[in-house]
Structure 1
Amino acid sequence: MKIKYIYKYLLVAFAAILLGSCTSTEADSKFDQNPIDRLNAREKELNDLLLSSADGWKAVYYTDSTQLGGFTHLFKFLPDGKVDMASDFDGDTGVKRSQYDIQLGSTVSLVFTTASRIHLLSESDNYPTAALRGKGYLGDFQFFYYGQENGDIIFKTNRNFKELRFVKAKPQDWTDLPKNTPIIEKITGGITSPLFRLLEINDGSAVKLFDFDFNPKARFGIATSLDASTNQIYNLALSYTPTGAIVKPALVVKGQKLSNFVYDSVSNNFIATGTGGVSATIRFSNAPPRLTDDYKILLPGKIFTNFGYYVGDFTESAPTNSQLFKKELAGINAALPAGVSVSSIQIYTNHSLGNFIYYTFVGRAAIFHYVDVVEDATGKKIILKHKSWSTGTVPAFLKNFDSYLTDPSGIYVKKESYKLTYSNTVYTFTGASSSFRMNTWQLN
């Protein structure tokens, strides 16, 4: 009998569980709607959210933080399917109007349907590095809606399913966006800015230096330790603010996370400051981070050497020619008579005629500038010291250009690892006190 009663009690209990589950309002709310109704509800939810912020939304879009930095976008969505948008992708931070749509598929997505600032990140023919040729900036213009969190709208990108957050914008965000441009220009550098960058990390007791190879277009840099005993490397993706740069991921120094690099106009450095003397600094340098003995090939008593830059050949298109070099070369041609132009610039050392800078032209005779080669062993560079000109005095059209090669501070000489089509070894000559850099072949 006991077994019979137990069996009856179990049946009653099971019936009660079923009755309770069937009367659950939570279950009713989930399953009363069919899939189309649920998508329509999500569509309305997203549309209401986009229109709910009086000052629009802000997103710092990192398309791929392993090789690209972040781009700030501001959005003001309007009820008629239009959107006002601004970004710091380039110097044009003005507000542009375009269109958007909320589309239904397997999920609800926000799509920017006409050309807008965010489309600049998805154009395949506009790429910041050789590795991204044909891929652009890896950006999207369609974003899948995944709900809200603490007032933010959560999206996933279409291309690589990465999270993108829209946070409520403030009036100050729209006012401040143009102020990112001067900061970007400071870290990018101008035509006369030093060519090299360093990352300096101070842990409060010691300073470590890193060669910071930074690509301004990609907003991404790789910092490699200058200490030969370690292979420590930091990959830094940057986004910009009116006061500096935000680094992702943050640098961890003595347990402190440093991410906000504030621009210091006095030193022209970007500095992230912690406590207890901890800091990290991004700064420019005229001196190469790694000095070599490559300059010694030009010293007196060495073999005869000849280095040449040629107009209209592969040395002309080399990316290591600096903007200042190109400007000064153009200045020579602008000062020459019609039909006359520079055809090559060569440096000869330990030649039977001595040491000289050899300028050749189309339309006129060559010019020799005879020099002495002086070693700066401490600075690991050479100084090309003036002796005489084949023309008697310095030609006015060569004066500015030649002053960079004969800079009293000297020039750095580097044997490059790359080739320029031909098998000739490539050398670069870089001013020790300027951003002048000329790319050459070794010709002997």
Structure 2
Amino acid sequence: MKIKYLYKLLIVAFVAIQLVACSNNSDTEEKFEEGPTARTNAQSKKLDDLLLSSEYGWKAVYFTDNTQLGGYTHLFKFSPGGKVTMASDFDSDAKKYDSQYEIQLGSTVSVVFTTANRIHLLSDSDSYPIDDLKGQGYLGDFQFLFYGEDKGDIVFRTNRKFQELRFVKATAADWTNLPQNTIMEQNVIGANTRPLFRFLETSDGTTVRQFDFNFDVITRFATADPIATGFSESYNIGIGYSPTGIVVSPAIVIKEQALSEFVYNDADGSFTATGTNGVSATIKYSNKPLVLTDDYKILLKGQPITGFGYIASNLGNTSGNSLLCKTLLNEINASLPAAQKVNRIEFTFNDGGDSYIAYSFTGGKATLYHNVDVIEDAANKTLILKHISWQTATALVAEPVLLKKIDQELTNPKGLYIKRESFKLGGAPNAIYTFTSSSSSFRLATYAFQ
């Protein structure tokens, strides 16, 4: 009997243990399920509290892709109830606009700008700066994943490329001075009174190096290639504007010092970032290219026939044309009847021994030809186009007043720098050749036809 009793007791004990174990597992699972939810809710509240905590809101300089695009300053002022007031320097419109935002839960907590505002200009696939980004826009996001707080900044990662983006506390001056970013953009482009050529000069406190500097206003992107032979380092940087200068990304690193903030000097048009122990980087103007090419030689007498053409529909707005060039073209178009515009400016060299510039127009206006003699200035590596005569297709004519200013730039006695560029323009496969004045800020971009 005792054995049977003990056996029954063991069975009861075993069942009791199983019941307790099931109960404990149930509690554990419930706690496990509640844990992540509680933590997510806490993070959600933390982010919302942070967004609302800054008196003047937050500022972010958003480089959507610093391998091909520059940075865009955005200001955000968050209010209870999911309202956000926003402004940006995407274009000249620096006004404030209201919209809505939400804190959303997913794989992590994120802030999402749910109704259209300035930040959406960077994510609109129908608005793109260059043909290579057609259908992709400016590669921007309007959802940012929350990754915590660091020294007063809110740290996010972008939803699209998972790159870090920091919101720093804005000031009243940030809102007031935002329109000055557009003014600074014009300083980066450079006035007609400035030289056309630029270089980046770096110093590590001992060694000074120079790089040929080129800036594209459409993409806010710059390249700087070394001038010295045997030195291969170059810089490709996105540029953002500020009231006092520019911000670059990635930073220019010299002797382990990262230089990203450049201050503008209106006296000479330079931008300088200063480190310690003699480390610095400065973007400066030059009166001539730092690297002179022999690209002009294929245009000289005795060479095979060559042709180059500016086509307004493809190259009218390209950064390959200088501001002075665009200004002169606009002046010509403004003086013509509405249906007539400059259509093409074509250069033909060694056509049966003849060379000429042809100006053609829309609206039925006859093409005008300027016959020129081609002279080499070997010492300065320039090409001089010397006047011979003007004509239509059938007869000689006097110099057209309409074309005088732009033609004087192309036939200036100090000559033109001719350069085969490394980039393509207007979606065409043709090589790009630029015709640049050696005595002014005039530059015209053309397609090579051979």
TM range (shorter): 0.7 to 0.9
Measure the CA separation in 2 of the matches of 1:150 and 1:224.
36
**Alpha carbons of 1:380 and 1:259: their partners in 2 closer, same or farther (altered >3 Å)?**
same
- Counterpart in 2 of 1:108? 109
SS in 2 for 1:118: helix
SS in 1 for 2:380: coil
Measure the CA separation in 1 of the matches of 2:264 and 2:136.
32
Alignment of 1:409 with 2:414, yes or no, is yes
What per-residue deviation string (whole Å, max 9, x for no partner) do you get for residues 288-323 of structure 1? 4432222233445x2464535375786778874555
Shift of 1:411: 0.8
Of 319-328 and 414-423, more deviation after overlay is shown by 414-423
Alignment of 1:328 with 2:335, yes or no, is no
Alignment of 1:396 with 2:397, yes or no, is no
Any conservation in 2 of the 1:192–1:324 contact (CA below 8 Å)?
no
Matched residue type, 2:58: W
For structure 2, list consecutive stretches of 5 or more residues without a partner in the other structure: 1-27
Of 45-54 and 90-99, more deviation after overlay is shown by 45-54
- Counterpart in 1 of 2:434? 428
Alignment of 1:65 with 2:72, yes or no, is no
Shift of 1:146: 2.7
Alignment of 1:119 with 2:126, yes or no, is no
- Show the 5 A alignment for 1:296-375: 296-300=297-301, 302-303=302-303, 305=305, 307-309=307-309, 320-322=320-322, 324-335=324-335, 345-347=345-347, 349=349, 356-359=356-359, 367-375=368-376
Any conservation in 1 of the 2:434–2:443 contact (CA below 8 Å)?
no
Alignment of 1:41 with 2:48, yes or no, is no
Give the TM-score normalised by structure 1.
Answer: 0.79
Shift of 1:334: 4.5
Any conservation in 2 of the 1:306–1:346 contact (CA below 8 Å)?
no
What per-residue deviation string (whole Å, max 9, x for no partner) do you get for residues 11-58 of structure 1? xxxxxxxxxxxxxxxx9xx97954434433332232222222222122
What per-residue deviation string (whole Å, max 9, x for no partner) do you get for residues 148-167 of structure 1? 23332222221222222222
What per-residue deviation string (whole Å, max 9, x for no partner) do you get for residues 91-137 of structure 1? 21221111111122343221111001111111112223444332222
Matched residue type, 1:429: F
**Alpha carbons of 1:311 and 1:105: their partners in 2 closer, same or farther (altered >3 Å)?**
closer
- Counterpart in 1 of 2:224? 223
**Alpha carbons of 1:382 and 1:171: their partners in 2 closer, same or farther (altered >3 Å)?**
same
- Show the 5 A alignment for 1:125-164: 125-164=126-165
Any conservation in 1 of the 2:332–2:403 contact (CA below 8 Å)?
yes
Matched residue type, 2:118: R
Over the aligned positions, Cα root-mean-square deviation in angstroms equals: 3.6
Give the TM-score normalised by structure 2.
Answer: 0.78
- Show the 5 A alignment for 1:370-385: 370-385=371-386
Measure the CA separation in 2 of the matches of 1:183 and 1:437.
24
Shift of 1:358: 4.5
Shift of 1:144: 2.2
Of 308-317 and 136-145, more deviation after overlay is shown by 308-317
**Alpha carbons of 1:356 and 1:136: their partners in 2 closer, same or farther (altered >3 Å)?**
closer
Any conservation in 2 of the 1:193–1:435 contact (CA below 8 Å)?
no
Any conservation in 1 of the 2:131–2:427 contact (CA below 8 Å)?
no
- Counterpart in 2 of 1:15? none
What per-residue deviation string (whole Å, max 9, x for no partner) do you get for residues 69-102 of structure 1? 3322211111121111112222212211111111
Measure the CA separation in 2 of the matches of 1:442 and 1:162.
42
SS in 2 for 1:45: helix
Matched residue type, 2:446: N
Matched residue type, 2:419: K
Matched residue count: 414
Matched residue type, 1:381: T
Of 356-365 and 414-423, more deviation after overlay is shown by 414-423
Measure the CA separation in 2 of the matches of 1:340 and 1:74.
44
Measure the CA separation in 1 of the matches of 2:269 and 2:288.
16
Of 363-372 and 238-247, more deviation after overlay is shown by 363-372
Measure the CA separation in 1 of the matches of 2:212 and 2:292.
12
Identity percentage of aligned residues = 52
**Alpha carbons of 1:379 and 1:50: their partners in 2 closer, same or farther (altered >3 Å)?**
same
Alignment of 1:386 with 2:387, yes or no, is yes
For structure 1, list consecutive stretches of 5 or more residues without a partner in the other structure: 1-26
Any conservation in 1 of the 2:217–2:319 contact (CA below 8 Å)?
no
Measure the CA separation in 2 of the matches of 1:260 and 1:224.
20
**Alpha carbons of 1:400 and 1:232: their partners in 2 closer, same or farther (altered >3 Å)?**
same
Shift of 1:380: 0.5
SS in 1 for 2:405: helix
- Counterpart in 2 of 1:213? 214
Measure the CA separation in 1 of the matches of 2:367 and 2:113.
59
Measure the CA separation in 2 of the matches of 1:423 and 1:129.
15
- Counterpart in 1 of 2:175? 174
What per-residue deviation string (whole Å, max 9, x for no partner) do you get for residues 233-270 of structure 1? 22323332211112233323345443221111011111
Measure the CA separation in 2 of the matches of 1:339 and 1:166.
50
Shift of 1:381: 0.3
